[in-house]
Amino acid sequence: NAGVTQTPKFQVLKTGQSMTLQCAQDMNHEYMSWYRQDPGMGLRLIHYSVGAGITDQGEVPNGYNVSRSTTEDFPLRLLSAAPSQTSVYFCASSPTQGSQPQHFGDGTRLSIL
Amino acid sequence: GESVGLHLPTLSVQEGDNSIINCAYSNSASDYFIWYKQESGKGPQFIIDIRSNMDKRQGQRVTVLLNKTVKHLSLQIAATQPGDSAVYFCAESRSGGYNKLIFGAGTRLAVHP
């Protein structure tokens, strides 16, 4: 049982490039979410999904897109990377909406030059 | 805006001592509070939570106290061990569950032998 798997672990992009951060969970969890973590700050919610085909915005959604075509996968897309998006990105999942604590992946460290 | 914050950015303790990590929150409508532990290079790991209708909850070596009068949350770790060294985050939820978490900035706990 791998839990929440994020790929890649590290990535460097140039400004304006696009990229997809992958997140997969093998626990059949309905709820998935993306957070970003910046130095000296707590995690901030970007987007979340309560089930396949359903997504919604979190606290800081601008510059990011998501989709949820399957229960297992919840990719995060940067369409045109900006230096302000340099951060560590965490994906999380939980069995149902609001019932149990979220399980986090180990993060993707993204640098945008 | 409303946020979850922490009083101390770094806490140093001796192995075997008890640790107390504090957190202030500003939204009286928050109904769940969660503590996470984050080790270097890892995602946050759930420690313990407490609902707004409780003022104390105990786990294994950890206790969370909630004082709604002064909007204060604390995490007590008994007999602190080197393995407890990490960054600790408090988070609040206003959605009736664990989703849409608002995180504090974190406190680093350093345990010295």
Mean pLDDT across the stretch B80-90? 95
Q: What is the tens place of the pLDDT at every residue in B33-62? A: 999 999 988 999 999 999 999 999 999 999
| pLDDT confidence bin for B93, thresholds 50/70/90 | confident
**Cis? peptide before A75, omega within 30° of 0:** no
CB contacts, 8 Å: A94 with chain B: 98-99
CB contact under 8 A, B98 and A99: yes
CB contacts, 8 Å: B34 with chain A: 101
Tokens matching residue B30: 């928050």
Report the percent of chain B where pLDDT is more than 70.
89
Report the percent of chain A where pLDDT is more than 90.
83
- Provide CB contacts within 8 A for B106, sequence distance 6+: A42, B6, B9, B38, B87, B88, B89
- B91 burial type by CB count under 10 A (0-12 exposed, 13-18 middle, 19+ buried): buried
Task: Give me the phi and psi of A8, to 5 degrees please.
Answer: -75, 175
Weakest mean pLDDT among A47-61, B5-19, B28-42: B5-19
Mean pLDDT for all residues in chain A: 93
Angle at B28 between CA B23 and CA B33, to 5 degrees: 45
Predicted local confidence at residue A34, as pLDDT:
97
Q: What is the tens place of the pLDDT at every residue in A8-22? A: 999 999 999 999 999
Residue A91 three-state SS: strand
Look-up of token digits 């045109």 = A80
CB contact under 8 A, A45 and B91: no
Predicted local confidence at residue B33, as pLDDT:
92
Which A residues 54-73 touch B at CB under 8 Å? 58-59
CB contact under 8 A, B95 and A99: no
Amino acid code (one letter) for A82: A
Q: How far is B105 from chain A, CA to nearest CA, in Å?
A: 4
Given A42, A59, A101, which is nearest B104 (Cβ)? A42
Tell whether A34 lies on the interface with B, counting CB pairs under 8 A. no
Q: Residue B8 above 60 pLDDT?
A: no
CB contact under 8 A, B100 and A48: yes
Q: Residue A99 above 70 pLDDT?
A: no
